[in-house]
Structure 1
Amino acid sequence: MTKRSSHTALLWIVAAGFFMQALDTTIVNTALPSMATSLHVSPLAMQPIVVAYTLTMAMLTPASGWLADRFGTRRVYFTAILVFVFGSICCASAHTLGQLVLARVLQGLGGSMLLPIGRLAVLRSVSSEQYVSALAFISVSGQLGPIVGPTLGGWLVQAISWHWIFLINVPIGAVGLYAVQRFLPPHGATQAPPFDFAGCGLLSLCMIAFSLAVDTPVEMHRAAWAAGLFVLALVSALAYIPYARRRRNPLFKLALFSEPNFSVGLIGNLLCRIGASAVPFLLPLLMQLQLGYTPLHSGLMMLPAALAGAAAKRWIAPLVRRYGYDTFLLVNTVIVGASIVAFALISRGTPVAVEIAILMVFGAGASMQFAAMNSVTLKGLSHEDAGSGNSLFSMVQMLAIGLGVSIGGGLVNLFSAQWGSAALGFRLSFVCVGVITLMSAWVFRHLDEDVPGARTARPRAAASTGR
């Protein structure tokens, strides 16, 4: 096999892994009501299967680079696919919600390594001149996941059963396993630096405690439990600060936060993604439970948002060059937040054209928002801090997705019980998560307008793959 064909095969392997991960993140949402019926639970009680997956990915992503150095890229990537496929089989075999949540944790274990190690394999195998174009090729597969996922999930649920939204990973994974052994260059194990297990444990404890506190039902007898979890999360986060100061090579250096736009971007990302991540979870539930749509119909309704998002990516660079990151993010955040609030207007009497228009505005705005937020957060970091900053940024992204699902689902339950109307519960929840997104506009006002290249640089290709 020639060097060129070997590189092509490598790109297809990594792209397939990224597609499998991105597909699994979106394909589940349209199947939630059918899964809930099969497992004999409320549809809104299904949010732990999304949270468990994203939270596992958030906790384990920082360890992926160390694992690749310690055990070899090909060996770890092969294991990641194998664990992901086995987790998918366990998901399809689950008979209770608890079993499904545990299977999703196993799936997240494999999924947490697919993109970072695949990206690392490409970095080690292609020249610096080819890296940006190679990464752009891989990112296309990540864009296809949200486009194909909801519709494919709806069709599989309606035509066969919900189990197939997980079983579809088996043939893709089987081809991937063969291709990894056949084409992935055998980057061997190296003398990896010691991994900061204690630091990773502190931050993981913080994320788990905070997520569980947010996910705790709002009831008087559980208020003390939720408050205790919040305190545990805060103590874990604060304990990391003196720990990181004493350790020579901590998981994340505190110096990262000396770059002002990194701190602002991290907080803005968290707030904005909480609201935006609640939408893919809440909309299929609204459409199926309140509007009477079939799973396939609700999946098709998500297609305009995904297509608009893919089309809008070409507008980001010229808009940022003309207005700068600060102005662009301020205005675009308002558009995204307002479109989320507008979902509260959707009811059985709403014309389909209006629903599609709101979905397209949200999809285009969110797509540009994510790429611009990613770029402005990471672009000011030094070359030495870029890898560590990107890992922390990825953790926050995954944490925000889980929080968005927990907060969105919790608000629907709270308002539905308070007002005795599920329809009103959905409407008020969209308003609340839209307001959370709008709050990030205030955060982005604090961006440093003099950041190097803020009006001339193109958003990083590497960042755009993170959606």
Structure 2
Amino acid sequence: MTGQAAATPDKLDAAVLKIAGVVVLGAIMSILDITVVSVALPTFQTEFDATYAEVAWTMTGYTLALATVIPLSGWAADRFGTKRLYMLALLLFTLGSVLCATADSIEQLVAYRVLQGLGGGMLMPLGMTIMTRAAGPERIGRLMAVLGIPMLLGPIGGPILGGWLIEAASWHWVFLINLPIGAIGLVYAFFALPKDNAESSESFDFIGMLMLSPGLALFLYGVSSLPETGTITATKVWGTMLVGALLVIGFVLYSFKPQHPLLDLRLFRNRNLSVSSISLFVFIIAFMGAGLLFPSYFLQVRGESTLNAGLLMAPQGLGAMLTMPIAGTLADRIPVGRTVPFAMALIAAGFFTFTQVGTDTSYWLLCGSLFVMGLGMGGTMMPIMTSALRTLTSQEVARGSTLVNILQQIGGSIGSAIMSVILTSRLNGSEPIPGLNNPRTGEPITEAGAAIASQHGQQLPVEPSVIQRGLAFVADSFATTFWVGFGLVLLTFIPIAFLPRKRRPAKLGGPAEEGDGRLDTPVMIH
């Protein structure tokens, strides 16, 4: 094994890049779908005559399915083979996409999005497994940079593509676009991926699955219900969160007993994995949660179209595109504890601008800030993930990546819920307009609600001064929410201060030492 690793070329060769094409294509489908659908939510409200809380479940259902299936992907890959399972995940995702386009109600759409999520949840961890087997341990930093491409195309292409499809065709094409991509991906995977060498898998942890998967789903369901209810005291929120938390706690206590648990929490004894995981978790809560509000500001406060809102978000992805390949190369040579703090400082600097937003804040300033944040994001997320997996043995890395994927899903859901609750509670504090009620619900329309409606072309019998007051209130509500996100970004500096800052040589033929950037055995990521 050691000789094989030593003989691994320093650069990603043509054979690895051919396999990478399959993985990146699948990951693009999964990640792009999240951002494409995010700009379609207002359209879903109109098409299905639903509230924002109801259409938000098209995002939440997808995320719940991801979190539920990720713990199973490692065992399933060993049992059925990565190529077979990857093609099955692509097929499931594509089928779910086509069904979404046929939905006649919001309930059907949410159900089909869950089916999509079951396929999408396996694409990323399986893709990481396939790529790492092909590339070997010496190139894990550059490998992470390649896998970061879909994370760049998501914020760049998703809102732009979604806005254009809705305006040029219809909302159905937000999902139908996945049909040709999925078909190409299946054919490409059949010919490009290496043949499976099925091996007898370790015993499946059914008891762990019955606790962990439902526990995660129930906990995230409760968290995701916060924006709809507006309070944690609602039974729908605290009840499901409590049951979910008890199941997860039960799994934590149980997981140290079996030899092969569904999720190996013993790995957290590795200081490097623990610190990196905490850093990534706090970062995801802060950045991904607030990141969903950036396009909403352009839509609701500035009255931009979905296409223009997507174009205004592009500088963030362009900034990340510049730094992510550099960060991937540096992660193979320099301890991430020396580079990530500088990248986080860029994110904090760019984020601060959004705490000052108003109704007429300069687009040059906002787009410049998004670009700076993108520069920081490109140098933060993938290096932290690399650091989390570097000091594990080949057997441990497979389980370590599963932990990282689950933490990402939980962090993203918690961050989105926190930001949505804060923004919603702020907007609900707006003054109601006397004598003006919502014809569907009968509830009074507030100045903020009238202002947002006017930005989307709805004419209401109110004075222009009321609209201006409402817009100012909405802008202030966004600024307040961004202050919370900014505080969470600053909080991330605490765990990243403990990331490895020294590189020590690995012991030949033995496991890498903490802080070391090399592995002597090929690694496999789930």
- Using the size of structure 2 for normalisation, the TM-score is 0.78
Q: Structure 1's 9 and 339: CA in aligned 2 closer, same or farther, altered over 3 A?
A: closer
Distance 1:378 1:69 in 2: 19
Distance 1:133 1:368 in 2: 13
Structure-1 residue corresponding to 2:110:
101
**Is the aligned partner of 1:395 residue 2:406?**
yes
Structure-1 residue corresponding to 2:208:
199
> Which deviations, in whole Å up to 9, do the C-alpha atoms of 1:59-86 show, x marking residues without a partner?
2123223223322333322211111011
Structure 1: gaps spanning 5 or more residues: none
Within the candidate set 396, 415, 418, 2:426 is matched to: 415
> Which deviations, in whole Å up to 9, do the C-alpha atoms of 1:392-447 show, x marking residues without a partner?
11111122222222222222111111345433332222211222232222233344
Distance 2:58 2:480 in 1: 24
Q: Structure 1's 84 and 236: CA in aligned 2 closer, same or farther, altered over 3 A?
A: same
> Which deviations, in whole Å up to 9, do the C-alpha atoms of 1:326-377 show, x marking residues without a partner?
4544454354245334323233311211111111122111221212321222
Please state how far the C-alpha of 1:295 moved relative to its aligned partner: 0.8
Q: Once structures 1 and 2 are overlaid, which stretch shifts more, 345-354 or 305-314?
A: 345-354
Letter of the 1:427 partner, please give it: A
Distance 2:219 2:403 in 1: 17
Structure-2 residue corresponding to 1:287:
298
Structure-1 residue corresponding to 2:366:
355
Distance 1:51 1:448 in 2: 35
Letter of the 2:428 partner, please give it: A
1:68-79 counterparts in 2 under 5 A?
Answer: 68-79=77-88
Distance 2:390 2:137 in 1: 18
Q: Structure 1's 18 and 221: CA in aligned 2 closer, same or farther, altered over 3 A?
A: closer
Q: Assess if the C-alpha contact under 8 Å between 2:256 and 2:266 holds in 1.
A: no
Q: Assess if the C-alpha contact under 8 Å between 1:275 and 1:436 holds in 2.
A: yes
Distance 1:329 1:10 in 2: 29
Q: Assess if the C-alpha contact under 8 Å between 1:320 and 1:455 holds in 2.
A: no
Structure 2: gaps spanning 5 or more residues: 1-12, 432-447, 449-473, 506-513
**Is the aligned partner of 1:60 residue 2:69?**
yes
Give the CA RMSD over aligned residues.
3.4
Q: Structure 1's 413 and 96: CA in aligned 2 closer, same or farther, altered over 3 A?
A: farther
Q: Assess if the C-alpha contact under 8 Å between 1:51 and 1:401 holds in 2.
A: no
Distance 1:130 1:265 in 2: 19
Structure-1 residue corresponding to 2:263:
252
SS of the residue corresponding to residue 380 of structure 2 reads helix
Please state how far the C-alpha of 1:275 moved relative to its aligned partner: 1.7
**Is the aligned partner of 1:84 residue 2:136?**
no
Within the candidate set 24, 31, 50, 2:59 is matched to: 50
Q: Structure 1's 344 and 196: CA in aligned 2 closer, same or farther, altered over 3 A?
A: same
**Is the aligned partner of 1:432 residue 2:484?**
yes
Distance 1:238 1:140 in 2: 35
Please state how far the C-alpha of 1:308 moved relative to its aligned partner: 0.4
Structure-1 residue corresponding to 2:8:
none
**Is the aligned partner of 1:171 residue 2:180?**
yes
> Which deviations, in whole Å up to 9, do the C-alpha atoms of 1:237-295 show, x marking residues without a partner?
32123311211111223321111232222222212111211234212222112211011
Q: Structure 1's 371 and 458: CA in aligned 2 closer, same or farther, altered over 3 A?
A: farther
Q: Assess if the C-alpha contact under 8 Å between 1:33 and 1:285 holds in 2.
A: no
Q: Assess if the C-alpha contact under 8 Å between 1:329 and 1:441 holds in 2.
A: no
Letter of the 2:85 partner, please give it: V
Distance 1:151 1:358 in 2: 19
Please state how far the C-alpha of 1:224 moved relative to its aligned partner: 4.5
Letter of the 2:97 partner, please give it: S
Distance 2:375 2:222 in 1: 32
Distance 1:300 1:161 in 2: 19
Distance 2:143 2:272 in 1: 27
**Is the aligned partner of 1:333 residue 2:344?**
yes
Letter of the 2:38 partner, please give it: N
Distance 1:8 1:257 in 2: 32
Which structure has more helix as a fraction of its residues?
1
Distance 1:320 1:120 in 2: 19
Q: Assess if the C-alpha contact under 8 Å between 2:224 and 2:413 holds in 1.
A: no
Structure-1 residue corresponding to 2:3:
none
SS of the residue corresponding to residue 379 of structure 2 reads helix
Q: How many residues are paired up?
A: 460
Percent identity of equivalent pairs: 29
Q: Structure 1's 15 and 371: CA in aligned 2 closer, same or farther, altered over 3 A?
A: closer
Letter of the 1:425 partner, please give it: S
SS of the residue corresponding to residue 149 of structure 1 reads helix
Letter of the 1:120 partner, please give it: T
Structure-1 residue corresponding to 2:466:
none
